[in-house]
Amino acid sequence: MRDEVDKDEGGGVRDESEKDPSFPVSIPAEGKPRQDLRNRLKVYALRVLKLYDALPKRGAVHIITHQLARSGTSPLAHYREACRAKSNADFISKIEGGLQELDESDGWLELLVDGKYVPAKKLESLRAETNELISIFVTMVVNTKKRGKR
């Protein structure tokens, strides 16, 4: 993995995935339907960390990616804690914490695109996975509240 990615004149990342097929956000979440959620969240966290490693460590892009690295790895920890929850309220609280982190991650990914630091196409897959995980976490909260038990 390169220390830096190719940048365009505005400081953003060039859309040259054919030159660098290892660009981290192109890592597929293979077998997604068959993955358990814990593994899926681990793959997601690794994708976020590889994106962090691929982008420059200076200026605004570093601030954004640093925050993204924190919020993008946190849902795995929240989910693992939720799996050991002692009550429904505890379970819901931990899943909602993960949900907040996923929403924050989507905001940072949006800033990377809107700030022209990374082309939208390069983050398409990661943003789609973020939104799928948000949907899963929302469904877990709703279903747990309906059931009244974990």
Question: 148: phi > 0 → left, psi -120 to 50 → alpha, else beta; which?
Answer: left
pLDDT beyond 80 at 13: no
pLDDT at position 23 is: 44
pLDDT at position 148 is: 78
Alpha helices in 3-58 (DSSP H): 37-54
In total, the chain counts a number of residues equal to 150
Quick one: which H or E segment has residue 100?
helix 88-114
Percent of the chain with pLDDT over 90: 74
Q: Which contacts (CB < 8 Å, 24+ apart) does range 88-93 have?
A: 88/144, 88/148, 88/149, 88/150, 91/144, 91/150, 92/141, 92/144, 92/145
Give the distance, in angstroms, between the CA of residue 139 and the centroid of all CA atoms in the same chain.
Answer: 18
pLDDT tens by residue, 25-56: 444 455 544 359 999 999 999 999 999 999 99
pLDDT at position 149 is: 53
One CATH from 1.20.1440.60, 3.30.70.20, 1.10.287.90, 3.30.300.180 for 35-147: 1.20.1440.60
What's the rounded Cα separation, in Å, for the pair 137 and 118? 27
Q: What is the CA radius of gyration of the chain?
A: 16
Ordered by start, the domain boundaries in the chain are 35-147
- Side-chain-facing half-sphere of 67: CA atoms under 13 Å: 16
